[in-house]
Amino acid sequence: MTTTMRIALIGTGFMGRMHAHAWRTAPRFFELPVTPVLSVIAGRDADRTAAAAARLGFAESTTDWRRAIERDDIDVVDICTPGDTHAEIALAALAAGKHVMCEKPLANDVATADRMAAAADDALARGAVSMCGFSYRRTPALALARRLLAEGALGEIRHVRAQYLQDWLSDAEAPFTWRLDRTRAGTGTLGDIGAHSIDTAQWLTGDAIVGVSAVLRTFVGSRPVLDEQVGLGGRARQGAPRERVTVDDAAAFTAGFAGGALGVFEATRMATGHRNSNRIEINGERGSVAFDFRAMNELEFYDAADPAGRQGFRRIQANEPEHPYAGAWWPPGHGLGYEHLFTHQAVDFLRAIAGDGDVAPTFRDAARVQRVLAAVEQSAARDSVYVRVDGAAS
Ligand code: SOE
């Protein structure tokens, strides 16, 4: 095995910049069996991609992702592009023998996700690792929750309550983006942020969602097109042409888990005042955990075994050296941020490549999330009838 992992990053937007930061930061804070090297970044516009390379620390830039993938001196392909391009890039990269990191949601439909998962399984047999970027798994407080649940601290799980609330589309004049185009994004809020809640819920509980009953809403049917899209924000000029929104603005569904737990999920980009409130609470027979990304360094834990008179949720600052990932960073209590999740993701990925730890979530795990997304859409299209999740354990 080489001691370096030469990265080709495809995409220069929000996630591209975030992943670049993660590859650069990971070896500076974590002991790694292999060292990432920022070799090439691919984007659509030559000047802007060259500027991104210079700024983010890549040796080279290109407008041809295929050439980047074909190169012998590339080991890892990192896909940070809109969903409709994931499969083509990932399949080409896996065929070329590269390790692949792919942003979420894995694909825009189940059949494509399944093809990617099958290709990843084959590639793994040949030593190439693939991971889907459900980054919230790498929040120390949520990884601690996962540890508590795996240890059985909550006992039998009865309730999963997940809300992912954003508000960047609450203004009807907020501009159109690819995220509002079904052909590019697959679904809207559901796949973009609801997918995080689904993945987090299944990962924390170790249980599968087997059926859903759902509603989807699109509150604003068309949006102004900006001359140039910058990030998620911005406002269009007066009289700008409008583009039809072909995805959901909000999703709500109840879910049954294989083990009997009842799930209630809500995802929206229309919750005024909520910039990025990713919350989950799980109640079991022996206790509960609760997390809100607004206080991402904390996990609330209720232990029903605490003595009478002293019971209540305790707030654990998940920044102690005993907590997942936290020991590599600052002294206790100094806090981590959103970007740390991606650094942790890069660390886990590089370690998995070197055979140190399992790769997760795999493309197979991500295809299971895709099945839940599909079931939610089917239920919503049929007046919320209960739809079984295809292929889920029952
Ligand atoms: C936009 O809604 C977005 O950037 C998502 O695409 C990310 O996955 C989420 O972490 C933050 O919000």
DSSP assignment of 128-165: --EEEE-GGGG-HHHHHHHHHHHTTTT-SEEEEEEEEE
64 burial via Cβ count (<10 Å: 0-12, 13-18, 19+):
exposed
Q: Is 281 helix (H, G, I), strand (E, B) or coil?
A: strand
Locate tokens 């990925």: which residue? 349
Report the percent of the chain where pLDDT is more than 70.
Answer: 96
Ligand 1 atom at minimal distance to the Cα of residue 103: 8
Chain CA centroid to CA 210, Å: 21
Helix orientation angle between 110-125 and 363-381, rounded to the nearest 10 degrees: 170
Q: Give mean pLDDT, residues 131-151.
A: 98
372 CA to centre of own chain: 15
Whether residue 229 is predicted with pLDDT greater than 60 in this model: the reply is no
- Separation of CA 278 and ligand 1 centre (Å): 10
230: pLDDT strictly greater than 60: no
Return the CATH fold of 4-136: Rossmann fold (3.40.50)
Beta bridge partners of 216: 251
**pLDDT, position 234:** 66
Give per-residue pLDDT as tens, 67-119.
999 999 999 999 999 999 999 999 999 999 999 999 999 999 999 999 999 99
Pocket mutation for ligand 1, best pick of 103, 184, 193 (most atoms within 8 Å of C-beta) = 193
Q: What is the mean pLDDT of residues 191-213?
A: 98
Lowest mean pLDDT among 206-215, 227-236, 284-293: 227-236
Residue 20 corresponds to which amino acid? Answer: A
Query: Could you tell me if 354 and 31 are in contact, meaning their C-beta atoms sit under 8 angstroms apart?
Result: no
Mean pLDDT across 213-218? 98
- Quick one: angle between helices 140-150 and 195-205, nearest 10? 40
Model confidence at 216: pLDDT above 80: yes
Rounded mean pLDDT, 34-61? 98
Q: Which of 132-136, 215-219, 357-361 has the lowest mean pLDDT?
A: 357-361
- Judged by DSSP in three states, 275 sits in coil
3-class SS at 294? helix
DSSP class of residue 194 equals I
Under the banding of pLDDT at 50, 70 and 90, the label for residue 232 is low
Helix axes 338-353, 14-29, angle to 10 degrees: 70
Q: Which residue's alpha carbon is at the smallest distance from atom 9 of ligand 1?
A: 193
Please report the pLDDT score of residue 237 as a whole number: 72
Under a CB-based contact definition with an 8 Å cutoff, are residues 93 and 67 in contact?
no
322 vs 235: which has the higher pLDDT: 322
Q: What is the DSSP code string of 342-367?
A: HHHHHHHHHHHHTTSS---S-HHHHH
Model confidence at 146: pLDDT above 90 = yes
As a whole number, mean pLDDT of residues 353-364 equals 95
Q: Point out the ligand 1 atom lying closest to the alpha carbon of residue 104.
A: 8
Give the integer Cα–Cα distance in Å for 29 and 37: 15
Tokens of 242: 């409008």
Q: Report pLDDT for 226.
A: 84
Token reading at 325: 């990932």
Given a cut of 60, whether residue 333 has pLDDT beyond it is yes
pLDDT at residue 137 above 80? yes
Look up the CATH number of domain 139-388: 3.30.360.10
How far apart, in whole angstroms, are the C-alpha atoms of residue 180 and residue 222? Answer: 9
DSSP 8-state code for residue 191: I
Q: Ligand 1 pocket by C-beta < 6 Å: which residues?
A: 14, 166, 192-193, 276
Tell me what pLDDT residue 394 has: 41
- Residue-level pLDDT at 126: 96
Strand order in the sheet with 157-165: 314-317, 298-303, 287-292, 277-284, 157-165, 262-268, 250-257, 209-217, 387-388
Q: How far, in Å, is the centroid of ligand 1 from the Cα of 305? A: 37
CA distances to 194, 207, 301, 349 from 270, rounded to whole Å, are 13, 29, 29, 34
Strand 60-62 and strand 35-42: the pairing is parallel
Q: Whose CA is nearest to atom 1 of ligand 1?
A: 192
- What's the token pair of residue 261? 């737990």
How much is the average pLDDT of 235-247?
87
Q: Tens digits of per-residue pLDDT, 361-373?
A: 999 999 999 999 9
Write down the domain spans for the chain. 4-136, 139-388
Residue owning the nearest CA to atom 10 of ligand 1: 193
Computed over every residue of the chain, the mean pLDDT equals: 96
E strand or H helix at 205 = helix 195-205
